[in-house]
Amino acid sequence: MADITIRAAYASVVEDEGLLFIGFAEGEDDDEPYLLFRQPLAGGPVWMEVTDEDFGAEDAVERIEAGPQGLRLTIRKACVPALGYAGQIAVRIGPDCEDAAPALAALRDMLAGVWAED
């Protein structure tokens, strides 16, 4: 069972100021849970944060598994404290999640080295 579960209603892929952002959010308000990934367009370390910029770390993902219900992320042990002591994060992606397909494709490319399909 995951320590944190995001029930994504929205997903996004945005390029801004030389960075690629991929996000999954439960809603559009600032106080709603989200999972965000950020990487320079030229490649490099991937920053990940959960619900607040204070709960984030670089290269935090040890493994990401994609399946029919969404994503399951296993966090590197060294990064667990930075992510609010969450060792596993689930992102539930239902059929009504807006823009899920492009966000999943971009995330698969971004995290190809740790990506696995169920």
Beta strands in 31-105 (DSSP E): 34-40, 47-50, 56-58, 61-67, 70-75, 88-98
Residue among 6, 5, 27, 15 nearest 102 (CA) = 15
Tell how far CA 49 is from the center of its chain: 8
With residues binned 3-state (H G I as helix, E B as strand, rest as coil), the percentages for the chain, rounded to 5, are 15, 50, 35
Q: What is the pLDDT of residues 77-111, one digit of tens each?
A: 999 999 999 999 999 998 899 999 999 999 999 99
Q: What is the pLDDT of residues 10-59, one digit of tens each?
A: 999 999 999 999 999 999 888 899 999 999 999 999 999 999 989 999 99
